[in-house]
Amino acid sequence: MLELQNVSFSVETDGVKKDIIRGVSLRIGEPFVAVTGPNGSGKSTLAKLIAGIYQPTGGKILLDGEDITNASITDRARLGITFAFQQPVRFKGLTVSDLITLASGRKLSVADVCTYLSEVGLCAREYVDREINASLSGGELKRIEIAMAMARGTKLTLFDEPEAGIDLWSFGNLISVFEKMHEKKGGSIIIISHQERILNIADRIIVLAGGEVKEDGTKDEILPSLLTKGTCAALASKL
């Protein structure tokens, strides 16, 4: 269970204080939670606060009752939090197999690695020895990163706009992968997104605006309102 207690985050530029996250309080334990909202609403900042990339300037963050407010990103990873960046990092000299094995924290056979790659729709034998470099497309990197998250099998997995910068075919496959993760994975998955097809498979939708929670409820409670207002269409990047 993830709990945010009155969490705030501010930055100061040229002597001017700007509030990015304003007193957010949430308890998250559902299998699949989507966080949405307009650009600049604080979605990515909130994800980075949970992951430990940023430290809150106010409030507390707890994981299973343990205060992790001041814990580093490394400590949070050890406690079971995985963060997938909006733009996956390329690791020159490392192969796909190396990364998935490192993510799992245990020795994996080629067959094990291939199983994870197959789960995300990649032809395993073609990718297992590929280097993580510029030869891989954005969609391929996204799916490899998701395979790494699956291999880790952590309590909480955060995805920051996984649809960003990928083509329609890859996006359709990502939806299928998230549906599989939703069905099979223990713990919670939090996805930062404004894509209707991702929101449509969430158990819960949290809407941020101006750094504050404006709406919070089940998909059936929140999504019809977003669709009626045309919010999803207005927020979504056209793929």
pLDDT for res 195: 85
Q: Work out the number of other CB atoms within 10 angstroms of the CB of residue 227.
A: 14
Tokens for 1?
């269970």
pLDDT for res 167: 63
Going through 102-219 in order, the beta strands assigned E by DSSP cover 156-160, 188-192, 204-209, 212-218
**Exposure string for 66-89, b = 16+ CB within 10 A, e = fewer:** eebbebeeeebbebebbbbbeebe
pLDDT for res 86: 56
pLDDT for res 131: 86
- Alpha carbons 114 and 131: distance in angstroms, whole number: 15
Amino acid at 27: R
Helix (H) or strand (E) holding 8: strand 2-13
pLDDT for res 92: 72
pLDDT for res 237: 40
Amino acid at 63: L
Query: Please, which residues have CB within 8 angstroms of residue 62's CB and are 6 or more apart in sequence?
Result: 1, 2, 3, 4, 5, 68, 69
pLDDT tens, position by position, for the chain (239 residues)? 999 999 999 998 888 889 999 999 999 999 899 999 998 899 999 999 999 999 999 999 999 999 999 999 989 988 989 888 655 566 678 888 988 998 888 888 888 898 888 888 787 778 888 888 778 877 788 788 888 888 887 789 898 887 766 665 566 777 777 777 767 666 788 999 888 888 988 999 999 999 999 999 999 999 988 887 665 555 554 33
Give me the domains of the chain, ranges plus CATH numbers.
2-234 (3.40.50.300)
CA nearest neighbour of 84 among 38, 40, 107, 53:
53
